[in-house]
Chain A
């Protein structure tokens, strides 16, 4: 019973990683927007790079989800 409770708490704690992911995603889009506002001509060329960064950051968040699943069902 206590193990079950500890697992639940652990899975909840694993979601703290979302704080970092939120900051990271905000940084990706914010920095892109800042750059795009300063030099709109160069913005289009950098969009794929931004999307790549978005995908990489998002995947990091999903690693936390994976850990939560491993704790709950592993």
Chain B
């Protein structure tokens, strides 16, 4: 039987190498292209014939717009409006990739740390640049929380600096670990069904238990797919808020 981690193998469709760097068109690239196409069709199709009284499709598109718009408004404030397209794209790209991984025989792009770390580093560097552009060296006030007694300052500043630089790691590893653990768990329980079913009639009847658990796990995984995309978006908003208003 295949091992539970075999699902994370990266298949190469078109082998390519540019200047010693492997840039093959892999299953990751293909899923990203497919998800981008699906999202484009979804959002363009929903707003193609906009009406005052929306159709069901248009309603879903409008709801997803308001959902992210509220998220940005509540967490970043009025100045965050110009970053709405970025958060919107980020949320739906990650959500699309997470959900695409739930299709049987498909592949979860977000269960690869390389992909997550690239996105998280992009957010981290972008937020840092925005902070320095907006406030100059005043951005460093982020590391000096107000209302802390003077003798505790050295300790607090060190902790704040460490927690700032650990952000891209925690952001990417959170998504990666959630997707990887969930998919391994589902494969392990699926393996139980096969091995119990092979052990005669009693085993086959008892295999109903792991099957039920697997059905419930599928539901949980879809919830986690939404939640982790939401967490990624909301943390990006919180970091953006720090860049906008560094003195807290």
- A-side residues, CB < 8 A to B, are 48, 51-52, 54-56, 58-59, 62-63, 65-66
Assembly CA distance A55 to B173 (angstroms): 13
Jot down 5 A-B pairs with beta carbons below 8 A, ordered by A.
Answer: A51-B227, A52-B227, A54-B227, A56-B174, A62-B177
- B16-24, B101-109, B156-164, B228-236: which lies at the interface: B228-236
B181 touches A65 (CB 8 A): yes
- B-side residues, CB < 8 A to A, are 173-174, 177-178, 181, 224, 227-228, 230-231, 234
Assembly CA distance A58 to B223 (angstroms): 13
A56 touches B231 (CB 8 A): yes
- CB-defined contacts of B174 to chain A, threshold 8 Å: 56, 59, 62
Assembly CA distance A73 to B234 (angstroms): 33
Contact among A55, A63, A66 with B231 in the assembled complex (CB-CB below 8 Å): A55
Instruction: Tell me the interface secondary structure of chain B in the complex.
Output: helix
B173 touches A58 (CB 8 A): no
A55 touches B230 (CB 8 A): yes
Assembly CA distance A48 to B177 (angstroms): 21
Q: Chain B's nearest CB lies how many Å from the CB of A29? A: 14
A52 touches B231 (CB 8 A): yes
- CB-defined contacts of A48 to chain B, threshold 8 Å: 230
- CB-defined contacts of A54 to chain B, threshold 8 Å: 227
Q: Chain A's nearest CB lies how many Å from the CB of B184? A: 9
Assembly CA distance A65 to B230 (angstroms): 22
Closest chain B residue to A48, Cβ basis: B230
Assembly CA distance A52 to B178 (angstroms): 14
Which of A52, A56, A59, A63 has the largest count of B CB atoms less than 10 A from its CB?
A59
Assembly CA distance A58 to B178 (angstroms): 8
B173 touches A63 (CB 8 A): yes
Closest chain B residue to A56, Cβ basis: B231
Q: Chain B's nearest CB lies how many Å from the CB of A59? A: 4
Assembly CA distance A59 to B182 (angstroms): 11
Assembly CA distance A54 to B231 (angstroms): 10
A52 touches B177 (CB 8 A): no
